[in-house]
């Protein structure tokens, strides 16, 4: 599979692939011309890890663990930690969203205006 096919299939631009190479998450030889299905599974995993908040170093550590036998418990621990951090971030953003909704409601005459919502920081 060519890079162009990869971009269409997974929505990963060349610049994203180059970034993954610079992080050391994929080998440069995997990027330019032909991809195997295993490469795409790895790319999907990398994209998920980084998109959910893993640092490049954490993603690299996780990928190294996937190559070792008997590391499932460590992998699950890393994934659960990432999930917890992502969920905390979602909750914080929900607080800001709730605050904005309250401010909008107040501006429409729904109540006393509030300058600081629950999630606001000074």
Check which CATH number belongs to the domain holding 8 and give it.
1.10.1660
Confirm whether 48 is domain-assigned.
Answer: yes
Confirm whether 88 is domain-assigned.
Answer: no
Confirm whether 21 is domain-assigned.
Answer: yes
Confirm whether 20 is domain-assigned.
Answer: yes
Look at the chain and count its residues.
122
Q: Are 63 and 47 in contact (CB under 8 A)?
A: no
Q: Distance between CA atoms of 117 and 91, rounded to whole angstroms?
A: 14
Domain span at residue 28?
3-67
Task: Transcribe 51-106 into DSSP letters.
Answer: HTT--HHHHHHHHHHHTSTT-HHHHHHHHHHHHHHHHHHHHHHHHHHHHHHHHHHI
* Per-residue tens of pLDDT for the chain, all 122 residues: 565 666 777 777 878 877 887 888 876 655 555 667 777 788 889 989 999 999 999 999 999 999 888 899 999 999 999 999 999 999 999 999 999 999 999 888 876 655 565 555 54
Total domains, the chain: 1
Q: Nearest CA to 23 among 51, 48, 60, 53?
A: 60
| pTM of the shown model | 0.69
């Amino acid at each position: 599979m060519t890079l162009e096919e990869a971009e269409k299939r997974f929505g990963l631009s060349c610049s994203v692939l180059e970034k993954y190479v610079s992080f050391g998450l994929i080998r440069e030889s995997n990027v330019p011309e032909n991809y195997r299905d295993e490469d795409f599974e790895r790319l999907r995993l990398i994209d998920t890890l980084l998109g959910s908040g893993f640092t490049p170093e954490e993603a690299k550590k996780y990928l190294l663990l996937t190559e070792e036998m008997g590391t499932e418990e460590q992998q699950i621990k890393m994934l659960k930690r990432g999930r917890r951090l992502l969920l905390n971030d979602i909750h914080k953003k929900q607080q800001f969203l709730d605050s904005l909704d309250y401010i909008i409601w107040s501006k429409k005459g729904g109540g006393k205006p509030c300058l600081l919502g629950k999630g606001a920081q000074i």
